[in-house]
Amino acid sequence: MTEIIDGNAVASEIRDGLTDAIETLADVGARPGLATVLMGDDPASQTYVNMKQRDCEEVGIEGHHVDVAGDAPADELYETIDDLNDNPDVHGYLVQDPVPDHIDYREVIRRIDPAKDVDGFHPENVGRLVAGNARFRPCTPHGVQKILEAYDIDTEGADVTIVGRSRIVGKPLANLLIQKAEDGNATVTVCHSRTDDLGEKTRNADIVVAAVGVPELIDGSMIGDNAVVIDVGVNRVEADTEKGYELVGDVDFESANERASAITPVPGGVGPMTRAMLLYNTVKAASLQEE
Q: Which residue positions form the known binding site for NADP(+)?
A: 164-166, 234
- Sequence-separated (6 or more) residues with CB below 8 Å from residue 189: 159, 160, 161, 162, 201, 205
- Nearest residue (CB) to ligand GUN, 48 versus 253: 48
Catalytic residue check, 52: yes
Catalytic residue check, 119: yes
159 touching ligand GUN, by CB under 6 A: no
Q: Are 210 and 165 in contact (CB under 8 A)?
A: no
Round to whole Å and give the CA distance between 44 and 127: 30
Residue 105 CB, nearest distance to ligand GUN (Å)? 9
| Amino acid in the structure at residue 266 | V
67 touching ligand GUN, by CB under 6 A: no
Residue 177-216 contact track with ligand GUN, rule CB under 6 A, x = bound: ----------------------------------------
Catalytic residue, from 113, 117, 119, 206: name it.
Answer: 119
Considering only residues 6, 42, 67, 97, which one is a binding residue for ligand GUN as defined by CB under 6 A? 97
Catalytic residue, from 52, 146, 171, 201: name it.
Answer: 52
How would you class 97 by CB atoms within 10 Å of its CB: exposed for 0-12, middle for 13-18, buried for 19 or more?
Answer: middle
Residue 168 CB, nearest distance to ligand GUN (Å)? 6
- Nearest residue (CB) to ligand GUN, 136 versus 222: 136
Which one of 56-64, 77-85, 89-97, 259-267 is the stretch in contact with ligand GUN (CB under 6 A)? Answer: 89-97
Round to whole Å and give the CA distance between 212 and 252: 13
108 touching ligand GUN, by CB under 6 A: no
Residue 258 CB, nearest distance to ligand GUN (Å)? 30
96 touching ligand GUN, by CB under 6 A: yes
Residue 130-149 contact track with ligand GUN, rule CB under 6 A, x = bound: ---------x----------
Round to whole Å and give the CA distance between 197 and 213: 18
Catalytic residue, from 96, 171, 201, 206: name it.
Answer: 96
94 touching ligand GUN, by CB under 6 A: yes
Residue 197 CB, nearest distance to ligand GUN (Å)? 30
Q: Are 209 and 242 in contact (CB under 8 A)?
A: no
Coil/strand/helix, residue 35: strand
Give the count of beta carbons closer than 10 Å to the beta carbon of residue 42: 17
Residue 81: alpha-carbon gap to chain centroid? 22
- Sequence-separated (6 or more) residues with CB below 8 Å from residue 117: 92, 94, 109, 124, 125, 136
| Amino acid in the structure at residue 91 | H
| Amino acid in the structure at residue 189 | T
Q: Which residues bind ligand GUN (CB under 6 A)?
A: 94-97, 119, 139, 168
Catalytic machinery residues: 52, 96, 119
